[in-house]
């Protein structure tokens, strides 16, 4: 990595033109700090810093909007080590900015935007940020419902989790059952109003249908969808 690093240092020290190659240079600089594991958060922060510089630069000029999309794809490929329980919280600040930037430039790859929205919601839930998850899921669900209805079932199951019903002690089983029934009923009604064909064979719905109609389930069965 010595040669790429030296080349980038020479570029930034010189009188470089403020064009797309500045954004590309930021992305190259960020890749030099790409996380290979979750052990070195300092390197991860440097990686994020340069990627956010590239995205911030690109969002101010329409002809550079393509760099925002490219950066989001490259970012997602490189943060794989953090896509596991207990580490997704590290992605919340940067992934939030990427989702916002893609919304700002009105990126036309709606499926890609929906994919990142769903993953950001998973990050909120993994970090137990239920308030943020609830607020974000409303806007994300509306976007997905209108533009990528095939993915609506995914965010539907996550919206159930954002209600935090699993945090209620099992000793209040009756209240839990009522709460689950009410939440599931309202979410299913919302899902039915989407322009898609709903199949109750979907594993998340199967789980909830079984759960809310079986009040004598043992405690260990209660978990994530």
Q: What is the pLDDT of residue 1?
A: 54
Name 207's Cβ contacts closer than 8 Å, sequence gap at least 6.
Answer: 225
What is the domain range of residue 82?
A: 1-108
pLDDT tens sequence across 7-41: 888 888 878 788 999 999 999 999 999 999 999 99
Q: What is the pLDDT of residue 201?
A: 41
Tell me the angle at which helices 130-147 and 110-126 cross, rounded to the nearest 10 degrees: 160
Q: Is residue 191 part of a domain?
A: no
- Model confidence band, residue 192 (pLDDT cutoffs 50, 70, 90): low
Contact 152, 217 (CB under 8 A): no
Q: What is the pLDDT of residue 222?
A: 36
The residue with greater pLDDT, 163 or 204, is 163
Total number of domains constituting the chain: 1
The residue with greater pLDDT, 160 or 215, is 160
- Structure tokens that stand for 194 in this block: 């989407």
Q: Is residue 146 part of a domain?
A: no
Q: Is residue 186 part of a domain?
A: no
Q: Kindly tell me if the per-residue pLDDT of 193 is higher than 80.
A: no
Residue 74: exposed, middle, or buried by beta-carbon count in 10 A (0-12, 13-18, 19+)? Answer: middle
pLDDT tens sequence across 87-143: 999 999 999 999 999 999 999 999 999 999 999 999 999 999 989 998 999 899 999
Name 64's Cβ contacts closer than 8 Å, sequence gap at least 6.
Answer: 20, 23, 57, 58
Q: Is the dihedral of CA 16, 21, 27, 33 positive or negative?
A: negative
Mean pLDDT of 65-75: 98
Name 120's Cβ contacts closer than 8 Å, sequence gap at least 6.
Answer: 91, 92, 95, 96, 99, 136, 140
Q: Is residue 9 part of a domain?
A: yes
pLDDT tens sequence across 129-178: 989 998 999 899 999 999 999 999 898 888 877 665 344 443 344 444 44
- Give the integer Cα–Cα distance in Å for 68 and 195: 30
Quick check: helix, strand or coil at residue 179?
helix
- Structure tokens that stand for 75 in this block: 């970012």
Q: What is the pLDDT of residue 163?
A: 64
Q: Is residue 104 part of a domain?
A: yes
């Amino acid at each position: 990595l010595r040669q790429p690093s030296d080349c980038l240092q020479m570029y930034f020290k010189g009188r470089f033109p403020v064009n797309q190659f500045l954004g590309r240079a930021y992305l190259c600089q960020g890749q030099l700090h790409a996380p290979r594991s979750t052990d070195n958060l300092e390197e991860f922060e440097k990686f994020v810093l340069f990627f956010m510089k590239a995205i911030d630069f690109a969002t101010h000029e329409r002809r550079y909007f393509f760099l925002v999309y490219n950066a989001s794809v490259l970012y997602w490929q490189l943060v794989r080590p953090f896509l596991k329980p207990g580490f997704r919280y590290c992605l919340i600040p940067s992934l939030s900015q990427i989702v916002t930037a893609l919304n700002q430039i009105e990126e036309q790859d709606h499926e890609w935007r929906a994919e990142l929205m769903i993953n950001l919601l998973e990050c909120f839930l993994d970090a137990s940020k239920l308030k943020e998850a609830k607020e974000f899921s409303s806007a994300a669900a509306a976007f997905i419902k209108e533009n990528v209805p095939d993915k609506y079932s995914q965010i539907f199951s996550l919206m159930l989790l954002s209600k935090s019903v699993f945090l209620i002690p099992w000793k209040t089983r009756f209240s839990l059952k009522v709460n689950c029934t009410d939440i599931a009923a309202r979410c299913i009604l919302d899902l039915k109003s989407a322009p898609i064909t709903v199949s109750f064979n979907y594993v998340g719905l199967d789980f909830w249908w079984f759960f809310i109609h079986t009040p004598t389930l043992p405690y260990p069965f209660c978990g994530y969808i």
